[in-house]
Structure 1
């Protein structure tokens, strides 16, 4: 006889989800698919940046990550500064109460242990620390699944990230250098595993069939201003990136190539608008994408992709389209290397339109070979992600069917 079932396992998803970043939301969708497939009885909710979006799009109960709604806006007035300060105290209580109601909390992918983009320690790093500390206090298993990490210059941010990682029950990374970065910060990573990015687990449309004549090119753009250590020259970096990318798009148009501009976050829209205005050609259009699935559909119809955002690259590689990375961090180089396209990386901080065009033409010259390489690598990635989810189940899900956390009172 099968033993009677205990209370359903309570699972929380935590992070900047529903906030307009397609990569973050795609990672969450991959974990949700895993939960619905392998843990159908689990009761799932979220503590996230955009609870309204998560409730509507994913049909999950969701609560706001930060009590203070202006958390990620610069506080210039005394009232805003006071609001942020009070919010830190309120969030400690709110986060602890939310964590206590769960048996497992999953942080699905995302670069939560890095500062490759501008980041303040009292923003998400502080929120992650509250999560992991509360998990340790109440016995809730906190899993950092397929996350990204990188060396961090800011001492306060580095301390919060290091402590959070040490308090987590389970850690896995989307590339080897992420694990190496945590080890360099003083975290024992001997039992931590590396698996492909979670977004590779999402379903993808079949790649299109090249027509034999030059076809459309997808160009994924980004509101790129450098990283956390580049604040003093952020505008200079952005101008150089925008100018180089615009001149590259103009060169494609002069060759008669249709260009489809793609984004990965709501903040990228201004870059799209600037390129459309500067090039001013009917051959350049912008796609309205609301998910990584939408991005993959756009890319599957293209002959080639040139992209900046990490998850734009993931989508292009997933659908098997020859891809050139405008790389802004080591994680992009590592991703391209994993998928066999390590030779096709161009620095986003120093976009040279002429050199980029030469590299693009070299990419297209080897397109058939690269499509075969990507098809083979994607089979390996799929197997490795199955192993990731099996390891996650074994590490953090209760084996008795009797989770520790009490059910919520209606």
Structure 2
């Protein structure tokens, strides 16, 4: 029997630990349920993906400066030519596969600054190629949100329409796609794929983890991006300083390589031996940090996922509806604080309340994690039925 050919697609291996965690969860599923499958990737960081996950990987964009601002004529021409070359490259890659999976990630949203001719265009090329060439494209456990920019919204809407399978990581994502004109009657909602990753055992407690982010607002906040970043950094720094002045150990976490300047700024401003930074290289590393904490205060979505997965009481510096939805789903909806308007005094009050109810919240998280595990089991069963019905039947019939 010819092995099924599976591709994985996205901004993977590019420094975002959440994206890579979603990939890791899907690879775990494939190795368990489709062990004979031949898997490779079309992704942002092919060298990282090939080395870390031991699968062949191809660069997503032909033009290497795709995500840098094009200020010179040569760069503008390179980007323009890249769009044409990528259409051919993507179609050729898709044609070699039976199935392509887009594992999690916020591929249908613009909650952070995003240009339409970057990743949204790449996703449209993928889904259009799949429809034209008969390759099933699956958007698995993805995030979506209302999009104001018309070109971006159009590319996202058509990508979703052309996909053979869609599931979402929260109900708000499905609602957003329905509002954009996508028929979601058969689309299901499941927990984020990262909840399928194994959780580490609890470590020695005694510190507070604070997950920080190079946050400048969303796609519609470009005019006041600097102000948003300044307020976020000042409020977060004040909160970390208050903890250190109380003698608390604080561990700074990130979720993307671009967050390093924020860590450096906080370390420089607080200047305390009680405040240190973690060198996490994966979601597993982040989970180990969170498991060893009394509490977590975090901004990035997958920092929150890691903390909640380990059952650690968590307070969200929320920058999008997806964070609020995640916290509510896990029973901690009362512990959200707006990342665009960080008020250090109010944040400290919320943190006190979080710690006061720590034991109760840990019990709540344990139960919600059990529910999430069962729901993700149903997600993977549905994925097998949708993408691998022929191979699944053939394997059952094999004597």
Q: 1:315 aligns with which of 287, 306, 309?
A: 306
Report 1 or 2 for greater relative contact order, CA contacts < 8 Å, sequence distance ≥ 6.
1
Note if 1:86 corresponds to 2:77. Answer: no
Deviations 1:140-179 (A, max 9, x none): 0000000000000000000000000000000000000000
Question: Is the Cα contact below 8 Å between 2:4 and 2:391 reproduced in 1?
Answer: no
Gap change, CA 1:216 and 1:166, over 3 Å in 2: same
Deviations 1:53-76 (A, max 9, x none): 001111110000000000000000
Q: How does 1:253-402 map to 2 (within 5 A)?
A: 253-400=244-391
Alpha-carbon distance in 1 for matches of 2:317, 2:163 = 33
Question: Is the Cα contact below 8 Å between 1:222 and 1:263 reproduced in 2?
Answer: yes
2:192 — aligned with what? 197
1:105 — aligned with what? 100
RMSD of Structure 2 on Structure 1 (CA): 1.1
* SS of aligned partner of 2:390: coil
Alpha-carbon distance in 2 for matches of 1:208, 1:326 = 24
Gap change, CA 1:200 and 1:80, over 3 Å in 2: same
2:23 — aligned with what? 28
Gap change, CA 1:281 and 1:76, over 3 Å in 2: same
Alpha-carbon distance in 2 for matches of 1:262, 1:137 = 43
Deviations 1:178-207 (A, max 9, x none): 000000000000000000000000011123
Shift of 1:255: 0.9
Alpha-carbon distance in 1 for matches of 2:63, 2:127 = 20
Q: State the number of aligned residues.
A: 394
Deviations 1:375-409 (A, max 9, x none): 00000000000000000000011415799xxxxxx
1:138 — aligned with what? 133
Gap change, CA 1:402 and 1:100, over 3 Å in 2: farther
Alpha-carbon distance in 2 for matches of 1:195, 1:284 = 36
TM-score (norm. length: structure 2): 0.98
1:407 — aligned with what? none
Question: Is the Cα contact below 8 Å between 1:115 and 1:152 reproduced in 2?
Answer: yes
Gap change, CA 1:192 and 1:254, over 3 Å in 2: same
Task: Give unpaired runs (5+ residues) of structure 2.
Answer: 395-399
Deviations 1:263-322 (A, max 9, x none): 000000000000000000000000000000000001111000000000000000000000
* SS of aligned partner of 1:260: strand
1:148 — aligned with what? 143
Question: Is the Cα contact below 8 Å between 2:204 and 2:293 reproduced in 1?
Answer: no
* Deviation beyond 3 Å, 4+ runs, structure 1: 400-403
1:3 — aligned with what? none
Q: How does 1:43-54 map to 2 (within 5 A)?
A: 43-54=38-49
Gap change, CA 1:320 and 1:93, over 3 Å in 2: same
TM-score (norm. length: structure 1): 0.95
Task: Give unpaired runs (5+ residues) of structure 1.
Answer: 1-5, 404-410
